[in-house]
A = this chain, B = another copy of it.
Amino acid sequence: MKEITFITGNEHKLREAIEILGVNIQQKSIDLPEIQSVELKPVIEAKLKGAYEILQKPVIVEDVGFFSESLNGLPGALIKWFIETLGRDGIVKILEPFDNKKVTVVCAVGYTEDGETIHVFEGKVNGIVVPKRGESGFGFDPIFEPEGHSKTFAEMSAEEKNAISHRGRAFEKFKEFLEKNNIG
């Protein structure tokens, strides 16, 4: 079995990945430079290359984007800067002038075995931006209400959220890839 290392400082993400993939993966917390981009793919590619340069073995990285229809995709991969500067209330506020509150939350999982060939698997969840509701969760969770649900991510239990999770969907695709290629 190939040894795969997931670059993350987040134990919860590691556990979710192991549960879905059904294989053991290593964890390493490396502070990788994130390049400027609204799209996730360039960010993932740079992270994978950075991580492979250091580890020289198969690595997984992930990143999340928050793509507002009215803002033509912004903030996308830049969501963390919007949370840090504007905060959740600020994100709701800049969307006030727009009737369309639709947003797509995307998790991209990147994988490389050799630092050259790069695979990216995306999981998407559509929803709308709403004024903050709920206490649990982090990041944009309290202002994101997924389509077909009346709760925000922050109002859901971990189980409810994981059942419709963008991250779960991305890792499911990655699992299919690993199985098809007899990796893991």
Contact = CB atoms under 8 A, between A and B. Distances in A.
Interface of A: 33-38, 43, 46, 71-74, 76-78, 80-82, 84-87, 90, 93-98
A99 to B, nearest CB: 12
Contact of A74 (B33, B35, B36, B86): B86
Contacts of A97: 93-94, 96-97
B78 A36 contact: yes
B94 A85 contact: no
A96 B93 CA distance: 9
How many chain copies does the complex carry? 2
Contact of A90 (B37, B43, B71, B96): B71
A33 B35 CA distance: 6
30 contacts: A33-B33, A33-B46, A34-B35, A34-B36, A35-B35, A35-B36, A36-B36, A36-B77, A37-B81, A38-B81, A38-B85, A71-B85, A71-B86, A71-B94, A72-B85, A72-B86, A72-B87, A72-B90, A74-B81, A74-B82, A74-B85, A74-B86, A76-B85, A78-B81, A93-B97, A94-B94, A94-B95, A94-B97, A96-B97, A97-B97
